[in-house]
Amino acid sequence: MLMEGQKACLKIRPQSITNSLVNMRAAINRHLHDLDLDMDIVRDKEFLHANRALDGTLKNQTKKGIARSTEHKKVINTNDLRKIPTYLSTGYRSSPIILRQAVWFLISMHFVTRGMEFHYQLLRDSFEIKADENGDEYASLTQETLQKNFQGGLCSEEAPQDRRMYAVNESELCPLKVLRFYLDHLHPESTHLFNHCDKEALLFPEKKDTWYIPKPLSKKGFSSFMRDVVKAADLSESYTPHCLRATAIQKMNDAGHEARHIMYMSGHRSESSLRCYNRECSTKQKKDLSMTLACAAAGKESPLHAPVPLALPSATITSPDCDDQRQLAVSNADEQVSLSLSQQNDNRSYMSQFLSTSGFMARSNFETVPSTSKCDTRVL
């Protein structure tokens, strides 16, 4: 059965993505488990020949050059990421549709959601606006939602608590201002946060105080949000709602946030799962890597990682004797060489300790140097 399905898949699509065949095997295995059959087509020795055939097929595709790599979720490029808030900030006060899109976009980015499974569960009172010990306002969730990694139940772990969406007063698309403006235009009888638009408000929004009717959107209703934003903002390529999650994780990584902090915001429970979102380097990182290799090919030192010259205090020579001057110069030179060697040994010791560290930070492209500056909370 497994080999027949494999052949059928290859007939339809010879250049199959490697993970497609593996996922098909896993889907069949899950279906058999759901039927309460005592059978495991992945591990049972009865299927050893079929699994070897699958392994040989994948290797043969790679050898022939027809294997395709896994297509991960796109990260929204910088130019398109600038167009989205420009489009939303200029229209959310005069259009019920753009206002709803703005709230959806801000929640997706700030709470690192997948764009569909999260929003339809939100209620009108799901967000509570508070102030921290410094007096800065933020919005936080007051309810748990059913998500891919958090299904509830006795054996389920709790979702991350107290994730915050802070106000950015200097931004034209301040998250709290947009959220308050949206709540003010909901119908008094609305129970959910996202609802259908009022037809009259679509035509004459300035004449209506209530822009939405008390009819919540379904889960499928959010599938067109990103597509509509892409078209209205004139983005360079198409994106899915899940691309917002991939973009948020990539931007937090590029800003130098630690993996455990990114996991707190994204809800990932393992660093290996988080690594799937950050397989790609950013454009700047790719250029820096290429320039480093270009310098190496030219026999030059990379300007990005050139050794910092050691600055020593200049010595003041007061003796008029030439022999004393030579002796002092030799002494300063010896001291400089000694300090330089000491600094190199310290660097080697630090790199040896860093590379020997087990786990995610030693095998991924997440930066390990903690950021010393305050996080830039401006909306992208």
In tens, the pLDDT along 192-236 reads 999 999 999 999 999 999 999 999 998 888 889 999 999 999 999
Q: Distance between CA 149 and CA 42 in Å, rounded?
A: 24
Q: Tell me, what's the pLDDT at 70?
A: 59
Q: Tell me, what's the pLDDT at 253?
A: 84
Q: Tell me, what's the pLDDT at 54?
A: 86
Q: Is 60 exceeded by the pLDDT of residue 148? A: no
Q: Is 50 exceeded by the pLDDT of residue 372? A: no
Q: Tell me, what's the pLDDT at 144?
A: 66
Query: At 317, is the pLDDT very low, low, confident or very high (cuts 50, 70, 90)?
Result: very low
Higher local confidence (pLDDT), 253 or 312: 253
Q: What is the pLDDT of residues 154-179, one digit of tens each?
A: 454 555 567 899 999 999 999 999 99
Q: Output phi, psi for 72, to 5 deg.
A: -85, 165
Q: Tell me, what's the pLDDT at 228?
A: 95
H or E segment to which residue 323 belongs:
helix 322-355
Q: Break the chain into its structural domains and give their ranges.
A: 2-64, 78-278
Q: Tell me, what's the pLDDT at 342?
A: 56
Query: At 92, is the pLDDT very low, low, confident or very high (cuts 50, 70, 90)?
Result: very high
Q: What is the pLDDT of residues 261-289, one digit of tens each?
A: 888 888 766 676 666 666 567 777 788 88
Q: Distance between CA 126 and CA 107 in Å, rounded?
A: 12
Instruction: Give percent helix, percent strand, percent coil of the chain, each to the nearest 5.
Output: 50, 5, 45
Q: Tell me, what's the pLDDT at 373?
A: 44
* CATH architecture observed for domain 78-278: Orthogonal Bundle (1.10)
Query: At 310, is the pLDDT very low, low, confident or very high (cuts 50, 70, 90)?
Result: very low
Q: Is 80 exceeded by the pLDDT of residue 131? A: yes
Q: Tell me, what's the pLDDT at 314?
A: 47
Query: At 371, is the pLDDT very low, low, confident or very high (cuts 50, 70, 90)?
Result: very low
- The number of helices, as runs of H, and strands, as runs of E, in the chain is 13, 5
Q: What percent of the chain has pLDDT over 70?
A: 64
Q: Is 90 exceeded by the pLDDT of residue 303? A: no
* Residue 228, CA distances (Å) to 46, 88, 118, 254, 296 in order: 50, 12, 19, 28, 46
Higher local confidence (pLDDT), 307 or 183: 183
Q: Is 80 exceeded by the pLDDT of residue 308? A: no
How much is the mean pLDDT over the chain? 76
* Residue 76, CA distances (Å) to 89, 230, 253, 262, 333 in order: 18, 11, 14, 18, 53
Q: Is 70 exceeded by the pLDDT of residue 5? A: no
Q: Which residue is listed with tokens 């140097």?
A: 369
Q: What is the pLDDT of residues 96-130, one digit of tens each?
A: 999 999 999 999 999 888 767 788 889 999 999 99
Distance of CA 353 to the CA centre of its chain: 28
Q: Distance between CA 63 and CA 232 in Å, rounded?
A: 44
Q: What is the pTM of this model?
A: 0.63
Pairing mode, strands 195-197 and 164-166 = unpaired
- DSSP symbols for 222-239: GGGHHHHHHHHTT-SS--
Residues 6+ apart with CB under 8 A from 81: 247, 380
Tell me how far apart the 2 most distant CA atoms of the chain are, in Å: 98
Query: At 344, is the pLDDT very low, low, confident or very high (cuts 50, 70, 90)?
Result: low
Q: What is the pLDDT of residues 73-86, one digit of tens each?
A: 788 999 999 999 99
Q: Tell me, what's the pLDDT at 68?
A: 64
